[in-house]
Amino acid sequence: MNARRIVLVLLAFAVGSLCAWLLKTNLAPDAELATADKAGARSSESSERPTTPTTAPDVQPADVAEPEETRAPAIDPPTATGRIVIRGRVYDALNGEPWFGATIEARYRGGESFMDTESDEAGLYRLEIDGAPARLDLAAFVEERAALLVSDIATDGGKSELVIDFALPGAFAVAGRVLDARTKQPIAGAELKVFADGEAFEEGWNDGFSDDKGRFHIDELEDLPRNGLHLVVLAEEYQPAHLANLAVPAGADTLTLDVLLEEPRVLRGRVVAADGGAPIADARVETSSRIDEFAEAGEEARTAEDGSFELPLGDLPPADALLYVQAKSFATQRLDGLAKFADGTEIRLARPSTLAGRVLDGATRKALAEVEVRIEPRGMPASVAIEYADTTPTDDDGRFAVQLESVPLGAVRVFVSADGFALLERDVTLPLDTPLELALERSLLVTGRVTRTSDGEPVRGARIRALPGRDHQVELPSALTGKDGEYELELALSAAREATWVLEYQGRRHALEPLTLADDAPPALERNLALDLPAPRGVRVEKPTRTPPDDRDK
């Protein structure tokens, strides 16, 4: 087993930041303020100090931790709910002193960052969000302390202001033993890596090795949050292990757990037809991963005349592994949960389903010919989804029918694209007997230039974002201005009309006027924006840390 290859793959995984924050917390009313030796985050409407703390739930260290299945969290569409202010205080959990220069970052729930700010000399911060997403995540981090996350914050509860304080904890450690899952004997020389999701933590990888008694202790973890942690364990002659959603227990400075490693796995099974049970020879059996960066680390085999196969699991953690089975004249099948795959498992392939439908101009109801219809499976890495997708054009009457051998049965997404129309996406579940009617909407191309009212200079690095109204439950595009302040984005006409338009720049969100568009609006619109924006920031220097204002002047 090439353990080094999986290390490189995992490095890409951390940088890609493809998992979302995995730990959710709830706003608990009437809780007491957190003490100085505990990490906490607080939320209330009080203007002086918070009365509703938000804290990470206790996670007790398990005696033996086995890898569990991990799934990427669903990403909520950033539906606009209005204007809200989030403010609070950042302080040292060890002594209660305010923390100067901490970064507080607002993110779409499970998605990208859209705003950030820094705490002042008193440890205070303030975020003013126009068109706030219905739910968001908030993170606070500094260079000398472990980060703190508050996930799944509701902004649509009728409040115009939330107060969330951050008590930044000290460094922590991850410790325990690496054991053989069958014999429970210690494994020496295993390599362990601790990391967390998110761009803010992409450099926060920490390594350690188990000693001759299987023990490991990775300490001084200052650059990672205390929750939402990942632990990857690699050892020669063993299957890699990936443990996700780990958290340091409240009030503790060490997460202690034992990790069980399995011997190299070989999948043994048999592929047969669902209608009659006849063996299927020369079927393609392939392992992959639900995590994109692991997708290329799988193995492939072909079934024998009796439909049997043997396939090494390869450099894949069993908890993340997937199995795809594909044969001519049959629908592709996907199996999850390979950690519990039993020898002799019989995989029954069904006949392929046919997806049919018609593509129309939504305004005129005329058929659209030669339009590309693409069907992709959901819930798999992008690099794998491309391989198991099907594409077909519409005929002169706008109709299409495609027999889906490559696309696995289950949840799929249908994409329809045509010049002059907004991309249409429709989620369906296969098999589907009813033909689809897919009405495309005319698109609107919005272009323009952003300038600063004070000097007329172009604004570079501002993001123009359209937040969907309640009738559009998909994320709309955004555009970043270039060096000349110019931007360009394309979206459906109705979405452009109903959207809440905002501009994000240097940690502030500015509301823009809505677009007034007639039904016969032209396909392109120029929208130049002159706003009272701050001057561009200079080169960012290393932030001071907790130095009182009086001392900084000496």
CATH code, domain with 305: 2.60.40.1120
The pLDDT, as a whole number, for residue 436 is: 92
Interatomic CA distance for residues 263 and 356, integer angstroms: 46
Last residue of a domain, one of 141, 168, 195: 168
Per the structure, the count of domains in the chain is 4
Flag the least confident range among 30-44, 227-241, 477-491.
Answer: 30-44
Asked if 87 contacts 125 with a C-beta cutoff of 8 angstroms, the reply is yes
Asked if 104 contacts 116 with a C-beta cutoff of 8 angstroms, the reply is yes
**245 occurs within a structural domain:** no
Q: Which two tokens stand for residue 204?
A: 């926060």
Clarify whether residues 41 and 115 are in a common domain: yes
CA dihedral of residues 61, 63, 64, 67 (deg, nearest 10):
-10
**510 occurs within a structural domain:** yes
CA dihedral of residues 167, 168, 173, 176 (deg, nearest 10):
30
Clarify whether residues 41 and 149 are in a common domain: yes
The pLDDT, as a whole number, for residue 34 is: 30
Q: Please, what is the end-to-end C-alpha distance for the chain in angstroms?
A: 58
Clarify whether residues 89 and 146 are in a common domain: yes
Asked if 16 contacts 8 with a C-beta cutoff of 8 angstroms, the reply is no
Asked if 268 contacts 287 with a C-beta cutoff of 8 angstroms, the reply is no
DSSP SS3 for 65: strand
Last residue of a domain, one of 440, 474, 489: 440
User: pLDDT digit string (tens) for 20-33?
Assistant: 333 333 333 333 22
* Res. 486: pLDDT tops 90: yes
**224 occurs within a structural domain:** no
- Rg of the chain on CA atoms, in Å: 27
Length of the chain: 554
Task: Output the DSSP codes for 214-233.
Answer: SEEEEEEE-SS-SSSEEEEE
Task: Output the DSSP codes for 434-493.
Answer: SPEEEEE-BEEEEEEEEEETTT--B--S-EEEEEP-TT--SPPPEEE--TTSEEEEEEEH
Clarify whether residues 447 and 526 are in a common domain: yes
User: pLDDT digit string (tens) for 409-420?
Assistant: 788 889 998 888
Asked if 498 contacts 471 with a C-beta cutoff of 8 angstroms, the reply is yes
Q: Give the pLDDT band (50/70/90) at residue 60.
A: very low
Clarify whether residues 120 and 141 are in a common domain: yes
* Residue 493 DSSP label: H
Burial class for 486, CB neighbours closer than 10 Å (0-12, 13-18, 19+): middle
Q: Give the pLDDT band (50/70/90) at residue 474.
A: low
Domain enclosing residue 319, as ranges: 266-349
The pLDDT, as a whole number, for residue 293 is: 59
Clarify whether residues 367 and 339 are in a common domain: no
Interatomic CA distance for residues 105 and 474, integer angstroms: 23
**507 occurs within a structural domain:** yes
**254 occurs within a structural domain:** no
Mean pLDDT across the stretch 193-220?
A: 78
Please give the C-alpha separations between residue 170 and each of 93, 217, 220, 224, 456, in angstroms, as whole numbers: 7, 17, 9, 11, 46
Interatomic CA distance for residues 425 and 408, integer angstroms: 18
Clarify whether residues 85 and 119 are in a common domain: yes
Q: Which two tokens stand for residue 293?
A: 């960066």
Asked if 259 contacts 241 with a C-beta cutoff of 8 angstroms, the reply is yes
**138 occurs within a structural domain:** yes
Interatomic CA distance for residues 20 and 394, integer angstroms: 37
Clarify whether residues 155 and 280 are in a common domain: no
**182 occurs within a structural domain:** no
Among 294, 266, 342, 291, which Cα is nearest to 69's?
Answer: 291
Clarify whether residues 35 and 161 are in a common domain: yes
Last residue of a domain, one of 137, 168, 199: 168
Interatomic CA distance for residues 234 and 255, integer angstroms: 19
Clarify whether residues 342 and 465 are in a common domain: no
Q: Which two tokens stand for residue 10?
A: 């995992």
* Res. 487: pLDDT tops 60: yes
**123 occurs within a structural domain:** yes
Interatomic CA distance for residues 156 and 110, integer angstroms: 17
The pLDDT, as a whole number, for residue 554 is: 41
The pLDDT, as a whole number, for residue 105 is: 84
Clarify whether residues 436 and 319 are in a common domain: no
The pLDDT, as a whole number, for residue 76 is: 42
The contacts found for 418-421 with CB under 8 angstroms, 24 or more apart, are 418/359, 418/368, 418/371, 418/372, 420/523, 421/361, 421/368
Which residue, chain included where needed, has tokens 């793959």?
A: 9
If you average pLDDT over every residue of the chain, what do you get?
A: 75
131 or 338, which is more confident: 338
Clarify whether residues 31 and 86 are in a common domain: yes
Q: Give the pLDDT band (50/70/90) at residue 144.
A: low
Which residue, chain included where needed, has tokens 């555009």?
A: 479
* Res. 160: pLDDT tops 60: yes
CA 184 to chain CA centroid, nearest Å: 35
